[in-house]
Structure 1
Amino acid sequence: MSKTLIIAEKPSVAQDIVRALTTVAGKFDKHEDHFENERYVVSSAVGHLVEIKAPDEYDVKRGKWSFAHLPVVPPHFDLAPIDKAKSRLNALVKLVKRKDVTDLINACDAGREGELIFRLIVQYAGYGPQVAGAPVLKAPLAKPIRRLWLQSMTPQAIRDGFDHLRSDKQMLGLADAARSRSEADWLVGINGTRAMTAFNSRDGGF
């Protein structure tokens, strides 16, 4: 039987969703990393699980930072698991790739950051371009995605949200904005830090 995987942003929200759906979808069994019944698998992130990493060719040691190496603009942005969240990420990747999971619902927080958290998880799991260091797939994943957009966490509001799920296409603009902001922050941070350090080293202080 096919099932829908619901990914929330934090465990407390996953529990709220389970409580709200139990009255309409039946009782859920609790597993180590998720809840499950005949229709749904519900799990969560714990905030950001994946981050942009510096490509090896730009991993310049502190003593060698100089203006000659700037700006750092990688040809692409690779992703890496956040160390403290690896076990949670691996658990979600396994759920995403389960054969009986045929579609996904993004139930991360309503907003740009929640959109980014979900998008990076599924990219790491195999949606879109292959991520260096991620599990190798024979082909990219292509399970349908829908968006649960909640402004209230009452049981009725959650059930109403499931009655009005947004399409993945509707969320592409927000997803692009979130990714652009994340990549811009990375570029400003890595170049700003190196530039200030190079300036400080050259002139002996500020």
Structure 2
Amino acid sequence: MSKKLIIAEKPSVASDIAKALGGFTKHDDYFESESYVLSSAVGHLLELACPEEFEVKRGKWSFAHLPVIPPHFALNPIEKSAARLRVVNKLIKRKDVDGLINACDAGREGELIFNYIVQHAKVGKPVQRLWLQSMTPQAIRDGFARLRPGSEMQGLADAAVCRSESDWLVGINGTRAMTAFNSKTGGFHLTTVGRVQTPTLAIVVERERKIRDFKPRDYWEVEAEFAAKAGNYTGKWFDEGFKGKQEDEHARADRLWEVARAEAIKAATSGKPGIVSEEAKPETRLSPLLFDLTSLQREANARFGFSAK
């Protein structure tokens, strides 16, 4: 009997799918039922590499060898997850598997992980796409009831490959150019560059610069003790005319920068009776959507401090 191989992005997702569909028997690295074989990657299993014949060795990194733009890219197994790749490859090539189901995360990276695995396996078996926005058992079963043809996701797959290859080109050429520049006076000074790494480091450096350049300033707040029938409470003065966006990034509605002004407010209010009023306005809003598992976890974490587990 022919079966379809389901490939999830993470082992935990494969386990959730097995529970939702039911009827699976667990083996070492995969599940199997009468209709399906189910396994998973562990994130990315393959990475782009420059083909051997176009590689420039580290000792020859110089501007003369830039830019590095190979005519095609090779896929190399990631060493730490090579064993998992062998398992998935073996399952893809099973004779009783006549089709593949991409159950990787719904997004560009999920599409890339699956397509690189299939490209590396060099098989032409038909592909269907499981597209899930929620991991509840019912959502998983509904997703399998409306699997999409893999061809529908071609645009997303192309975007994923474009992102991956452009990252490689920016990283390799940027790293070699900066290394060559910093090594021009002698030695080898590796200077890494990357699409995500470099701007992130720039943000960290900018933040550190602001911290070092920060000049402390004194400010004052005016608080008062109020007596009411229900008991005493503390209130704080704030500027009713304060507007959120200010030239001074440290300005707040309850901050006073001159002690004289704080003293004046204290003198004008100390020991004087006050009137408390409350203003309420009706508001119309749409009723919130019902919880799925993800939004329930998020709400429970924010409101009660519950972990996802």
Question: TM-score w.r.t. structure 1 length?
Answer: 0.88
Question: What is the number of residues matched between the two proteins?
Answer: 188
| Gap regions ≥5 residues in structure 1 | 127-140
Identity rate, percent: 71
Q: How does 1:59-74 map to 2 (within 5 A)?
A: 59-74=55-70
Structure with bigger helix share is 1
The CA deviation string for residues 58-87 of structure 1, in whole angstroms up to 9 with x for no partner, is 433333210000000001000000001111
2:138 maps to amino acid: Q
1:4 maps to amino acid: K
In the alignment, which residue of structure 2 is the partner of 1:186? 168
- Partner-residue secondary structure (3-state), 1:5: strand
1:70 maps to amino acid: L
Separation in 2, partners of 1:159, 1:92: 23
Separation in 2, partners of 1:58, 1:192: 17
Separation in 2, partners of 1:61, 1:197: 13
- Partner-residue secondary structure (3-state), 1:118: helix
Q: How does 1:95-114 map to 2 (within 5 A)?
A: 95-114=91-110
- The alpha-carbon deviation at position 201 of structure 1 amounts to 1.5
Separation in 1, partners of 2:135, 2:127: 21
The CA deviation string for residues 36-66 of structure 1, in whole angstroms up to 9 with x for no partner, is 0110100000000000012223433333210
Pick one of 103, 116, 126 that aligns with 1:144. Answer: 126
Separation in 1, partners of 2:103, 2:26: 18
- The alpha-carbon deviation at position 169 of structure 1 amounts to 1.2
Q: Does 1:120 align with 2:102?
A: no
Relative contact order, CA 8 A, sep 6+: which one is greater? 1
Question: TM-score w.r.t. structure 2 length?
Answer: 0.59
Separation in 1, partners of 2:55, 2:183: 18
In the alignment, which residue of structure 1 is the partner of 2:136? 154
Separation in 2, partners of 1:50, 1:201: 31
Query: How well do the aligned residues superpose, as a CA RMSD in angstroms?
Result: 1.4
In the alignment, which residue of structure 1 is the partner of 2:213? none
Separation in 1, partners of 2:182, 2:5: 50
- The alpha-carbon deviation at position 195 of structure 1 amounts to 0.3
Separation in 1, partners of 2:51, 2:125: 29
Separation in 1, partners of 2:56, 2:182: 16
- Partner-residue secondary structure (3-state), 1:104: strand
In the alignment, which residue of structure 2 is the partner of 1:171? 153
- The alpha-carbon deviation at position 163 of structure 1 amounts to 1.0
